[in-house]
Amino acid sequence: MVRYLEREFKSILNVRKSINDWFWDKYGINPYNGCQFGCVYCDSRSAKYNLPTDFESSIIVKKNADVLLEKRLGRAKTLLRDVIGIGGTTDPYQRAELRYGNTRKCLEVIRKYRFPVHIATKSPLVLKDLDILEEIGESSWCTVSVTVTTLDHGVSRFLERGAGLPEKRFEIIRRIKSATKNIQAGILFMPIVPFLCDSKENIEAVVKMASESGADFVLFGGGMTMRDVQALWFLKHLKVAYPKLIPEYERLYGFTYDEYRYGGTYEPKSSYYVQPTRFFIEATDGYGMARRIKRFIPDDYRRYNYIVSERLFNMAYERRIRGKFWDAFFWAARSVQVLRESVKDIAVRGELTRIRGVGPKIASYIEEQLENLG
């Protein structure tokens, strides 16, 4: 039985140390702590989040979330408008939202101050807020990402027992794209759960369904993480449902089941990614699906910085998934997006190579991009 624990908090808006180059969010909000979907792979079970292992049965409701957000955004002097991510460690549209409406209340504040927003969910309840999300998208930027890991009902029920069936999640995308004009919507194909979700057939099926639903993108994550409490929880359930996979996980992550409580490898061995990534590239190329989310572009001095850094990040991503040298483009992108003046002004002064991580070749690329932008 699910318990709702109403609590008041002192803060609600988290400021990232750096902008997330997958979802483009600078800020984060979790209207609730704990998640009723209870996905067995969820990294939020990790010790660093300080949540109970069975956090699907005790949901903490941040009863003053919208009040705190109003104070933070309303009084901010130096808080630049940037993407607020909702749904980092908990689904903002779990069933608690029907009772408390915390997510919608926060969206009303976000709309008021014209901040862009990124929603990550598995729930059709997001559809009830299309009116306000469309307004946010029209005045700023709005993206809704729906997580799908498999089309196999048995695997889905094991991994995400509290969430709706995969077909229902693709229907969310269809509804958004047919009912709105200003909401970017796509699929979060993550995490890739080894031996359950990484086959060519599953990857192609998910991409095909994304294409047919009208999704704007399919974002492909890496292999499932295995960290302390989260790893133990997953392995305990895996041993019951798929006991023959335990030796495969021991091999892939470099541990024995009985010893994992003392440590293990956070991610699969690097060689693991080659095959599922190849399947993903083939599928997205075949169906003409974008592999990245289009970025929010502000209308202040950061405009050119964000456009250029987005292109550098995208280039780094494409090179990385193809096994090519990518680090230089990634770190240059990180530097450009945090500049405190326009990269265009820096280019005019001929000082691009003074930007950290920007060598002559990348400087030449930036100049070419700026020239094309006019």
Q: Spell out the domain ranges in the chain.
A: 3-225+267-287, 303-373
Write down the pLDDT at residue 257.
Answer: 66
Strand 83-86 to strand 117-121: parallel, antiparallel, or no bridges (unpaired)?
Answer: parallel
Report, as ranges of residue numbers, the positions in the chain whose pLDDT lies below 70.
53, 257-265
Q: In what order do the strands lie in the sheet with 14-15?
A: 14-15, 25-29, 83-86, 117-121, 142-147, 184-189, 218-220
Q: In what order do the strands lie in the sheet with 32-33?
A: 3-7, 58-62, 32-33
Write down the pLDDT at residue 270.
Answer: 84
For residue 149, give the nearest of 188, 175, 201, 176 by alpha carbon.
188
Write down the pLDDT at residue 265.
Answer: 67
Each residue's pLDDT tens digit, 299-340:
999 999 999 999 999 999 999 999 999 999 999 999 999 999
Write down the pLDDT at residue 2.
Answer: 87
115: Cα separation from own chain's centroid: 18
Write down the pLDDT at residue 7.
Answer: 92
Question: Is 145 in a helix, a strand, or coil?
Answer: strand
Write down the pLDDT at residue 98.
Answer: 96
CATH number given to 3-225+267-287: 3.20.20.70
173: Cα separation from own chain's centroid: 16
Classify domain 303-373 at the CATH topology level.
DNA polymerase; domain 1 (1.10.150)
